[in-house]
Amino acid sequence: MSLNDEERRIIVNLELEKATNTMTQISELQKLGYWDNIANRLYYAVFHAVNALLINDGHPVNTHRGVIAMFGNYYIRTGIFASEDGRLYSDLQTMRNNSDYNCSYDATQQEIEPMIEPARLLISKVSNYIKENE
């Protein structure tokens, strides 16, 4: 699908809004101790931010694994984003997969809480990058 500049800008903004809104759900989930749900929300918040980044720069977005691979190829390997950002995104996907699909796995506060602020910072970095490169 080919997007014109206006369509691209609208979708990028919607993706960033989705990332931000998803992050706001986390504080309420923390109060309830729903760590599996937080793992899911963290992953999807970053996923939507990275989708915004890829769409903004004209890269086709297809699969979850493809998004991670493209983020690595276009932004981590080139030094635009730090290797820790790529590792965080990959770790969040693994955590989300375990939480959502492995019935014998329960995410814990000790595993998830240290990922919240780095995820928030990554979303902010992505948003700033997009604004600087409009």
pLDDT (tens digit per residue) in 46-78 = 999 999 999 999 998 888 999 999 999 999 999
The rounded percent of the chain whose pLDDT value lies above 70 is 99
Query: 35-56 and 5-32 are packed helices; what angle lies between their axes, rounded to 10 degrees?
Result: 170
pLDDT exceeds 70 at position 1:
no
Residue 127 phi, psi dihedral angles, 5° rounding: -60, -45
Which pLDDT belongs to residue 61?
81
Domains of the chain with bracketed CATH: 5-132 (1.20.120.330)
